[in-house]
């Protein structure tokens, strides 16, 4: 057990390194804590900023707590350190130092030094590859909006299965179309807990092609009215052979509708006129 805790503690140190991400902010935070512990006279502030920070840090670093947390999700354990009031403590310590300085020039130099430290230890967030120039008011890829609009029915919320690349965005734009699974299925941590989907595997296991019969079978098992397939992948067989028809083609995505649901929804007057016209 002791050796296990030693391993866990090594992982905790790795998580602290991941949280710090090559900067000096954690070191500055520790220096600020020590400085406020010595100079701060207000007990309430000391409790909120110093004692609370020390207690939280001790809990997060504790091997037993870390062992429990990593059992839940080891890949993102470093995020518990977000609970530490690093920004507030560091900024308050700098302000406290500026107040103690007598000369204005020293106050200005202290302020400029603090700004320089922040700039040198940070990054321009928009250089990250997940950021892209906005092309619409929703700040989402336009293809997601176009596909979501093509799936929307005026009188019925249908279930649609979508390629994985659309999953992180679709719910941000619209709740009018339901999905059998969300973006969480793409995270490995969910797989560790036994969260699986035969339909997701049919859609994503092969990066180059879909097997139409398998996708159709799994989609019906999940009560999907629509199946959205990327044109970037080949389709082995055809959805038409499995009693689907092509409803639309939007920005590189085929939108198929299950005829079984088509006839049921048509009889109940739940389909839009344009869908009825295409379905025949």
CA distance 34 to 108: 23
DSSP structure string for 243-274? TEEEEEEETTEEEEEEHHHHHHHHHTT-S-HH
Let me know whether 64 and 114 are in one domain: yes
pTM score > 0.85 for this model?
no
Q: Residue 195 falls within a domain, yes or no?
A: yes
Let me know whether 13 and 92 are in one domain: yes
Phi, psi of 257 (to 5 degrees): -120, 140
CA distance 197 to 57: 38
Continuous H helices in 121-193? 142-151, 167-173, 188-192
CA distance 143 to 146: 5
Let me know whether 97 and 186 are in one domain: no
Q: Residue 217 falls within a domain, yes or no?
A: yes
Per-residue CA distances from 17 to 21, 22, 156, 218, 255 (Å): 6, 7, 49, 43, 45
CB neighbours (10 Å) of residue 237? 15
Averaged pLDDT, 175-182 = 86
| pLDDT reported for residue 55 | 92
Averaged pLDDT, 79-91 = 88
Let me know whether 116 and 191 are in one domain: no
| pLDDT reported for residue 109 | 92
**pLDDT, tens digit (0-9, with 9 covering 90-100), for 246-272:** 999 999 999 999 999 999 998 899 888
Let me know whether 173 and 232 are in one domain: yes
Let me know whether 78 and 183 are in one domain: no
Domain count, the chain: 2
Per-residue CA distances from 58 to 13, 39, 54, 201 (Å): 13, 22, 6, 42
Let me know whether 162 and 270 are in one domain: yes
Let me know whether 107 and 203 are in one domain: no
Let me know whether 217 and 151 are in one domain: yes
Let me know whether 151 and 104 are in one domain: no
Averaged pLDDT, 216-228 = 93
**pLDDT, tens digit (0-9, with 9 covering 90-100), for 184-203:** 777 665 555 556 788 999 99
Q: Residue 134 falls within a domain, yes or no?
A: no
Q: What is the signed CA dihedral for 248, 253, 258, 261, rounded to 10 degrees? A: -70
Let me know whether 165 and 232 are in one domain: yes
Per-residue CA distances from 37 to 40, 43, 52, 100, 232 (Å): 6, 10, 12, 15, 60
Q: Residue 10 falls within a domain, yes or no?
A: yes
**pLDDT, tens digit (0-9, with 9 covering 90-100), for 18-33:** 777 778 888 888 999 9
Q: What percent of the chain is modeled with pLDDT above 90?
A: 35
Let me know whether 254 and 150 are in one domain: yes
> Is the pLDDT confidence value at 230 over 90?
yes
Domain hosting residue 98, numbered range: 2-122
Q: Residue 128 falls within a domain, yes or no?
A: no
**pLDDT, tens digit (0-9, with 9 covering 90-100), for 35-51:** 999 988 889 999 999 99
CB-based burial, 185-203: b 16+ in 10 Å, e otherwise: beeeebeeeeeebebbebb
Which of 77, 94, 122 is the endpoint of a domain? 122
**pLDDT, tens digit (0-9, with 9 covering 90-100), for 113-132:** 988 888 887 776 666 555 66
């Amino acid at each position: 057990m002791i050796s296990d805790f030693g391993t866990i503690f090594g992982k905790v140190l790795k998580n602290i390194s991941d949280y710090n991400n090559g900067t000096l902010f954690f070191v500055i935070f520790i220096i600020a804590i020590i400085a406020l512990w010595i100079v701060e006279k207000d007990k309430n502030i000391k409790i909120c900023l110093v004692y609370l920070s020390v207690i939280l840090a001790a809990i997060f670093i504790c091997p037993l707590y870390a062992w429990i947390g990593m059992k839940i999700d080891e890949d993102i354990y470093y995020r518990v350190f977000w609970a530490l009031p690093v920004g507030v403590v560091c900024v308050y310590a700098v302000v406290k130092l500026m107040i103690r300085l007598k000369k204005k020039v020293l106050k200005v130099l202290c302020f400029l030094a603090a700004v320089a430290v922040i700039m040198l230890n940070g990054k321009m967030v928009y250089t990250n590859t997940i950021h892209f120039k906005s092309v619409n008011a929703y700040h989402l890829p336009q293809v997601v909006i176009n596909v979501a609009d093509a799936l929307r029915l005026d009188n019925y919320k249908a279930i649609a299965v979508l390629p994985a690349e659309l999953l992180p965005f679709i719910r941000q734009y619209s709740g009018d179309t339901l999905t059998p699974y969300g973006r969480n299925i793409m995270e490995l941590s969910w797989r560790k807990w036994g969260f699986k989907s035969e339909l997701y595997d049919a859609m994503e296991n092969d990066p180059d092609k879909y097997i139409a019969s398998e996708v159709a079978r799994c989609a019906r098992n999940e009560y999907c009215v629509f199946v959205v397939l990327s044109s970037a992948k080949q389709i082995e067989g055809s959805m038409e052979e499995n009693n689907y028809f092509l409803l639309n083609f939007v920005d590189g995505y085929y939108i198929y509708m299950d005829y079984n649901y088509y006839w049921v929804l048509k009889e109940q007057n739940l389909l839009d006129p344009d869908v009825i016209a295409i379905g025949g």
